[in-house]
């Protein structure tokens, strides 16, 4: 794992935006795995400002709430179009998001997996992290080899979503999410986490044991995972000084 600690969310997002820009430069038909949430908003803003060519890019989003229509203001479809896709030259048919209204959910999830395979797999998967250590919507006790499927949200995650939904009874219980195994097959992974309320989950994921109780801890088994943090999200890391030193003294060939 490479742990990158920057002073602010903007600086951390800049590092990640450069990583994506380099990928799209090297591989104009790259396949990106995308995430939602407050964490990725500054990154998406920076990507829009970079005016990259997205005409040959394909994207697969991690997850969606079951029961919400794409037009629902809190759906991840709405989030993605509002914050990113509408500002890019990406083709509508190159954008994949799980369908929260699928009727046969297991069959739909198998199809989603098949679409990722047909696209050649994910080159770079973006991730946020839940305060309970989830990635995508893989809640604690998710199988670490799981595939795209329906999951039930924990009360902690539902409470975290109250600000956007306006009340806990409005937050859906069920979601469709890429599995932990699906995520781990991405050739590159960048997990972003900002703010003190993510510090415990980050420390558990990065410096704790690998456990299904903290699904993000499986990233320790990924050959190239990058964990991109602002300073507050890094406050509980025991080896933070070491990570800072490593980043500041990287040989030029390893910079991105």
Residue 138 engages ligand GLP in binding (rule: CB under 6 A): no
Active site residue 249: no
For ligand GLP, which residue of 34, 35, 218, 228 counts as binding (CB under 6 A)? 35
Active site residue 231: no
Residue 183 engages ligand GLP in binding (rule: CB under 6 A): no
CA-to-CA separations, 69 to 74, 78, 146, in angstroms, rounded: 9, 9, 25
Binding mask 190-229 for ligand GLP (x = CB under 6 A): ----------------------------------------
CA-based nearest residue to 122, from 179, 205, 47, 201: 179
d(CA 110, CA 172): 22
Residue 172 engages ligand GLP in binding (rule: CB under 6 A): no
CA-based nearest residue to 13, from 255, 230, 252: 230
Spot the catalytic one: 64, 113, 123, 132: 132
Residue 129 engages ligand GLP in binding (rule: CB under 6 A): yes
Contact in structure between 126 and 61 (CB atoms under 8 Å): no
For ligand GLP, which residue of 42, 137, 146, 172 counts as binding (CB under 6 A)? 137
The residue among 38 and 53 lying less far from ligand GLP, judged by its C-beta, is: 38
Residue 38 engages ligand GLP in binding (rule: CB under 6 A): yes
Active site residue 139: yes
CA-based nearest residue to 84, from 119, 118, 122, 50: 50
């Amino acid at each position: 794992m490479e742990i990158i600690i920057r002073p602010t969310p903007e600086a951390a997002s800049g590092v990640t935006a450069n990583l994506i820009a380099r990928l799209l430069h090297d591989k104009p038909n790259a396949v990106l795995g995308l995430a939602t949430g407050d964490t990725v908003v500054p990154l998406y803003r920076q990507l829009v400002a970079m005016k990259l060519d997205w005409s040959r890019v394909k994207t697969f989003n991690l997850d969606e709430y079951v029961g919400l229509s794409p037009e629902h203001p809190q759906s991840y479809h709405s989030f993605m179009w509002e914050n990113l896709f509408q500002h890019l030259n990406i083709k509508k048919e190159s954008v994949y998001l799980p369908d929260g209204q699928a009727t046969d959910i297991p069959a739909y999830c198998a199809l989603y997996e098949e679409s990722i395979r047909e696209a050649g797999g994910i080159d770079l998967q973006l991730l946020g992290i839940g305060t309970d250590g989830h990635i995508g919507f893989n809640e604690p006790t998710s199988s670490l080899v799981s595939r795209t499927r329906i999951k039930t949200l924990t009360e902690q995650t539902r409470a975290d979503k109250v600000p956007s939904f306006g009340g806990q009874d409005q937050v859906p219980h069920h979601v469709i999410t890429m599995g932990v195994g699906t995520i781990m097959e991405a050739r590159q992974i960048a997990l972003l986490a900002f703010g003190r309320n993510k510090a415990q989950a980050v420390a558990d994921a990065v410096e704790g044991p690998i456990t299904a109780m903290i699904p993000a801890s499986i990233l320790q088994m990924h050959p190239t995972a990058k964990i991109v943090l602002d300073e507050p999200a890094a406050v509980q890391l025991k080896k933070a000084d070491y990570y800072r030193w490593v980043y500041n003294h990287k040989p030029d060939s390893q910079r991105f």
